[in-house]
Amino acid sequence: MTHRKRFFIRIVCWMLAIGFAAALPAVANDSEESDSLAYLLAQMSVLSAYDFETDTAGTAVADTDFAADWSILLAGGGTAAVAEDTAGKYAKFDKYSAVELKNMYFGPSESYAVSYRGKFGEKGHNYLFVRGTQVLKRNGTVMNWYESDGSGAGSGVGGSGIYFRVYNDDQIQVSVKSYDANKGKHVATNEALLSVYPEGEGTLTADFHTYTCYDNGNGTIWFYIDGEHKATILYSGATTYAADNYETVATATANPIHASYYKDVAVLNAAGETKLSVENALVAVEGRVAFGHRNVTNTYYDEIKVYTKDLKIDLSGTSKYGTGNLSLLTGDESTKRCFVGMDTFAYFRNSGGMALNLGTIDLSKYDRVTITWWDAACGNARTLAAGNVNFALTTTGALDTTTNKQVEQAGVNKLASWSLSAAKSISAKDDFRSAETITLPLNSSYSGNLYLAYMGTTNAVAVSQITLHAKAPVKVPETSLWKDISYRGNVFSGYFKDAACAIPYDAGDSEDPGAAYVKFVDANVLSVKAQKSDGTDGKKNIRFVTTVDSLNYKKVGFEITVGGKTIFKETTKVYEALQAGTQQIEPGVFSSQSCYFAAYSLWEIPESAFDTEIKVRAYWETPNGIVVYGAYKTVTVNGLE
């Protein structure tokens, strides 16, 4: 029908369904656990990684840089030293020892993973602990990872948590600590022996293999060998045990602190069969990661890595004395400086207008940033006025290379910004000046060189920590909850597997069942605009137009109500641009997030209906099959321009 050209020319037509399929990469499913683990780890940041290649054979592990992140505990003639053979260097442990990730506890909803290459040359007393309690000593008795509870009650190693050990060439053992009032120290051990290879086909004691434990922080742990899924642990039911006397030594008698534990724990093999259920487990809510060894020989570790979803930016790695940093206002790097002091904090001097280079960061994984700062003008009591401390995260988008790192403040692309909202008093005696923590929302998927800019007027401010917080997956709720939802001016756009919200979530996915990232987009994307044009014989046409932000939808449509009758018109075709008369319009007229148009027209409306109200709203179906509606718009032919 040629008259349709009065409204638009199809400049470039896209199919939503095709776009949806094309956007779906080859990701994990039940038969591709290796890909699944690689996918999970790719979503995380490496918190710590060490391979001993720069160390000299024979060096005590405690004297290597590995000890920067891990505490090395030796007992009973234990040794831990760097060994070397033709394959490279690694750590060799003998007798009794334990290795704990320093000062790091993983709490509820915090995902983390720990991975290492290991070789265990005998029926192993080698243990990887996760979700052990943060308290390792109680009642003055050392309760360490490598020894029994000292009561003769036979709890084996450790006092809490879950441990994995290589049991023989073909089997691993997964053990869950539990509370037992009848045992010494109330600790018992519950063991599941899992056959992870057909009998006689494994080489776990003969060769190095890569062991990885991924804990989603939300009730599920997956254990892998060489990327193959071998065990699943489910945990739930946080509780405290009244008679438990796990507590800090300092407060053991007067004021015991009871740790919180998940009590309901199940161990499943790779086939999903439950091999162990525990109803009174000591699996810590605030858990930590450790290795323990009990009277071992021929025990080797290499490539020990810890992954987390939150990224703590290492200030010791940032540039010093202005190198690579920006002077925002004047370009004068001689007086306006930010630098890293004592490798531990960033120092902004001589009032604002400078930015610290934080390195290349992909913000698509994060949705908040926390900045810990204090006033660094030493000595005098004073008051910071509201507004005179002012931070922003910025890109280099406005960097002026001709003026050598100078960039105008107005041109700074702010990804997040904050300023002191109320006056703040500081006493003369304030060491570290009452450090404050601020958390800002991030609303950007920027990836590239990131700067922390200081634009305040206080002449000395120090920043001791910058943490980017990972977007947290949420449990997928009943789909009906999201149908009409708008959230702070945004509409629901779908569930996704990745924090960047690029890969649609499929309920059949196995790596984190029920958990997905939720994407919202500007509600204006799904709003409706209407245009009028001439039909034949004095009649009029109306074209309704809406937009989508991506091709990640199954369809888009309009619900149109006239005279009490409602019709639904849907399409999978969207357009990069539309023609309105002689003018080409772009999707950005709806929202900066809009990328494609969808349209539907009512043709040949007679003059008798020119004042009839037409109520319309747009909707889309997310890749997960949820239909979401935008806001209503009511028009009449006479009411349109």
Q: CB of residue 84 vs Ca ion: minimum separation in angstroms?
A: 9
90 vs 235, which CB is nearer to Ca ion?
90
Rule CB under 5 A: say whether 147 interacts with Ca ion.
no
Q: What residues from 87 to 126 belong to the interface with Ca ion (CB under 5 A)?
A: 88-90
Q: CB of residue 52 vs Ca ion: minimum separation in angstroms?
A: 5
CA distance 438 to 461: 14
Q: In 3D, which of 57, 78, 54 has the Cα closest to residue 66?
A: 54
Binding segment for Ca ion among 48-56, 278-286, 417-425, 527-535 (CB under 5 A)? 48-56
Which residues are CB-contacts of 305 (< 8 A; sequence separation ≥ 6)?
46, 48, 49, 50, 113, 114, 115, 116
Is residue 120 within 8 Å of residue 299, measured between CB atoms?
Answer: yes
Residue facing Ca ion at closest CB distance? 51
86 vs 334, which CB is nearer to Ca ion?
86
Tokens, residue 555: 């369809």
The site string for Ca ion over 60-89 (x = CB under 5 A, - otherwise) reads ----------------------------xx
Rule CB under 5 A: say whether 302 interacts with Ca ion.
yes
170 vs 302, which CB is nearer to Ca ion?
302
The site string for Ca ion over 437-476 (x = CB under 5 A, - otherwise) reads ----------------------------------------
52 vs 558, which CB is nearer to Ca ion?
52
Helix (H) or strand (E) holding 467: strand 460-470
Size of the site for Ca ion (CB under 5 A): 6
52 vs 70, which CB is nearer to Ca ion?
52
Binding segment for Ca ion among 64-72, 91-99, 230-238, 300-308 (CB under 5 A)? 300-308
Binding segment for Ca ion among 49-57, 143-151, 421-429, 461-469 (CB under 5 A)? 49-57
Is residue 287 within 8 Å of residue 133, measured between CB atoms?
Answer: yes
- Residue 499, strand partner residues: none
CA distance 317 to 343: 8
88 vs 514, which CB is nearer to Ca ion?
88
DSSP state of 21: H
Q: CB of residue 225 vs Ca ion: minimum separation in angstroms?
A: 19
88 vs 227, which CB is nearer to Ca ion?
88
CA distances from 7 to 13, 530, 535, 555, 602 (A): 15, 11, 11, 22, 11
Which residues are CB-contacts of 409 (< 8 A; sequence separation ≥ 6)?
328, 329, 353, 455
Rule CB under 5 A: say whether 51 interacts with Ca ion.
yes
In one letter, which amino acid is 416? A
53 vs 314, which CB is nearer to Ca ion?
53
Q: CB of residue 97 vs Ca ion: minimum separation in angstroms?
A: 18
Which residues are CB-contacts of 171 (< 8 A; sequence separation ≥ 6)?
193, 194, 195, 196, 202, 204
Q: CB of residue 521 vs Ca ion: minimum separation in angstroms?
A: 46
Q: In 3D, which of 264, 624, 265, 309 has the Cα closest to residue 477?
A: 624
Break the chain down into helix, strand, coil percent, rounded to 5: 10, 50, 40
Q: CB of residue 454 vs Ca ion: minimum separation in angstroms?
A: 41
Q: CB of residue 50 vs Ca ion: minimum separation in angstroms?
A: 9
Helix (H) or strand (E) holding 33: helix 33-42
Q: CB of residue 92 vs Ca ion: minimum separation in angstroms?
A: 11
Q: What residues from 496 to 525 belong to the interface with Ca ion (CB under 5 A)?
A: none
50 vs 451, which CB is nearer to Ca ion?
50
Interface positions with Ca ion (CB under 5 A): 51-52, 88-90, 302
